[in-house]
Amino acid sequence: MDAFYFGPRPKPELTRMMDKAGYRIVHAHYEKGILASVPTCGAVVLHWKSKRDQQVIEEAKAAGLPTMVITAKLADAYAARDPLADLYLEEPARDEDVAVLLIDLIREEQPVGASATSSHQMKFAA
Protein backbone atom coordinates (compact mmCIF):
# COMPACT_ATOMS: atom_id res chain seq x y z
CA MET A 1 0.00 0.00 0.00
CA ASP A 2 1.37 3.43 -0.93
CA ALA A 3 1.46 6.62 1.10
CA PHE A 4 1.67 9.83 -0.91
CA TYR A 5 4.23 12.24 0.55
CA PHE A 6 3.88 15.91 -0.40
CA GLY A 7 6.66 18.30 0.49
CA PRO A 8 10.40 17.76 0.77
CA ARG A 9 11.64 14.38 -0.35
CA PRO A 10 11.28 11.85 2.50
CA LYS A 11 14.52 10.86 4.17
CA PRO A 12 15.98 7.50 3.09
CA GLU A 13 15.60 6.13 6.63
CA LEU A 14 11.84 6.80 6.61
CA THR A 15 11.54 5.14 3.20
CA ARG A 16 13.48 2.08 4.44
CA MET A 17 11.32 1.77 7.58
CA MET A 18 8.12 1.95 5.57
CA ASP A 19 9.43 -0.56 2.98
CA LYS A 20 10.37 -2.97 5.75
CA ALA A 21 6.79 -2.77 7.10
CA GLY A 22 5.37 -3.46 3.62
CA TYR A 23 4.41 0.12 2.69
CA ARG A 24 5.83 2.32 -0.03
CA ILE A 25 6.36 6.09 0.20
CA VAL A 26 5.59 7.86 -3.07
CA HIS A 27 7.05 11.36 -3.21
CA ALA A 28 4.83 13.68 -5.20
CA HIS A 29 4.32 17.31 -5.99
CA TYR A 30 0.75 18.42 -5.53
CA GLU A 31 -1.39 18.97 -8.60
CA LYS A 32 -5.12 19.47 -8.27
CA GLY A 33 -6.90 16.18 -8.88
CA ILE A 34 -3.85 13.98 -8.30
CA LEU A 35 -5.44 12.07 -5.41
CA ALA A 36 -8.47 11.07 -7.47
CA SER A 37 -6.13 9.03 -9.66
CA VAL A 38 -4.66 6.96 -6.82
CA PRO A 39 -7.51 4.97 -5.26
CA THR A 40 -5.09 2.40 -3.80
CA CYS A 41 -3.27 5.02 -1.77
CA GLY A 42 -3.34 4.27 1.95
CA ALA A 43 -2.63 7.75 3.31
CA VAL A 44 -1.39 11.22 2.49
CA VAL A 45 1.51 12.96 4.26
CA LEU A 46 1.71 16.72 3.84
CA HIS A 47 4.37 19.15 4.99
CA TRP A 48 1.99 22.02 5.71
CA LYS A 49 3.37 25.54 5.30
CA SER A 50 0.36 27.77 4.69
CA LYS A 51 -3.41 27.78 4.22
CA ARG A 52 -2.97 27.09 0.51
CA ASP A 53 -1.78 23.60 1.46
CA GLN A 54 -5.26 23.01 2.87
CA GLN A 55 -6.29 21.98 -0.68
CA VAL A 56 -4.34 18.73 -0.24
CA ILE A 57 -6.26 17.91 2.94
CA GLU A 58 -9.59 18.77 1.30
CA GLU A 59 -8.87 16.55 -1.68
CA ALA A 60 -7.62 13.68 0.50
CA LYS A 61 -10.74 13.85 2.66
CA ALA A 62 -12.98 13.92 -0.41
CA ALA A 63 -11.20 10.76 -1.63
CA GLY A 64 -11.60 9.13 1.79
CA LEU A 65 -7.86 9.07 2.49
CA PRO A 66 -6.41 9.55 5.96
CA THR A 67 -4.03 12.50 6.26
CA MET A 68 -0.95 13.25 8.32
CA VAL A 69 0.32 16.82 8.55
CA ILE A 70 3.91 17.58 9.51
CA THR A 71 4.55 21.25 10.16
CA ALA A 72 6.62 23.79 12.05
CA LYS A 73 3.45 25.93 12.15
CA LEU A 74 1.28 23.58 14.17
CA ALA A 75 -1.05 26.27 15.55
CA ASP A 76 -1.57 27.77 12.08
CA ALA A 77 -2.21 24.35 10.50
CA TYR A 78 -4.79 23.48 13.13
CA ALA A 79 -6.44 26.91 12.84
CA ALA A 80 -6.87 26.40 9.06
CA ARG A 81 -8.85 23.25 9.89
CA ASP A 82 -11.56 22.95 7.34
CA PRO A 83 -11.41 19.96 7.13
CA LEU A 84 -9.05 18.67 9.81
CA ALA A 85 -6.26 16.23 9.07
CA ASP A 86 -6.31 12.95 10.98
CA LEU A 87 -2.90 13.46 12.56
CA TYR A 88 -0.67 16.46 13.19
CA LEU A 89 3.07 16.23 13.95
CA GLU A 90 5.26 19.16 14.87
CA GLU A 91 8.58 19.54 13.07
CA PRO A 92 11.17 18.33 13.53
CA ALA A 93 9.55 14.91 13.49
CA ARG A 94 11.72 11.82 13.94
CA ASP A 95 11.58 9.30 11.10
CA GLU A 96 10.77 6.51 13.55
CA ASP A 97 7.77 8.43 14.88
CA VAL A 98 6.51 9.30 11.41
CA ALA A 99 6.81 5.67 10.28
CA VAL A 100 5.04 4.19 13.31
CA LEU A 101 2.23 6.74 13.29
CA LEU A 102 1.77 6.56 9.51
CA ILE A 103 1.54 2.76 9.57
CA ASP A 104 -1.00 2.98 12.41
CA LEU A 105 -3.00 5.57 10.48
CA ILE A 106 -3.08 3.41 7.34
CA ARG A 107 -4.06 0.30 9.29
CA GLU A 108 -6.85 2.14 11.14
CA GLU A 109 -8.38 3.18 7.84
CA GLN A 110 -8.34 -0.25 6.20
CA PRO A 111 -11.81 -1.78 6.48
CA VAL A 112 -12.01 -5.03 8.41
CA GLY A 113 -15.11 -6.21 6.53
CA ALA A 114 -17.52 -5.07 3.87
CA SER A 115 -19.70 -3.28 6.41
CA ALA A 116 -16.83 -1.73 8.37
CA THR A 117 -16.91 1.99 8.95
CA SER A 118 -13.99 4.08 10.06
CA SER A 119 -14.13 6.69 12.75
CA HIS A 120 -11.88 9.69 12.34
CA GLN A 121 -10.45 10.82 15.62
CA MET A 122 -8.17 13.81 15.90
CA LYS A 123 -4.71 12.86 17.05
CA PHE A 124 -1.80 15.04 17.99
CA ALA A 125 1.76 13.87 18.40
CA ALA A 126 4.63 15.83 19.85
> How many domains does the structure of the chain reveal?
1
Return the CATH number at 36.
Answer: 3.40.50.2300
Cα 111 vs. chain centroid, distance in angstroms?
17
pTM above 0.85, yes or no: no
For residue 100, the enclosing domain spans 2-111+121-125
pLDDT in tens, the chain (126 residues): 788 888 888 889 999 999 999 998 888 777 766 666 655 678 889 888 877 788 888 888 888 889 999 999 888 888 877 788 899 999 988 999 999 999 999 888 654 432 222 333 334 444
116 is a domain residue: no
99 is a domain residue: yes
48 is a domain residue: yes
98 is a domain residue: yes
55 is a domain residue: yes
13 is a domain residue: yes
53 is a domain residue: yes
Cα 51 vs. chain centroid, distance in angstroms?
16
73 is a domain residue: yes
Q: Order of strands across the sheet with 24-28?
A: 24-28, 2-6, 41-47, 67-71, 87-90, 123-125
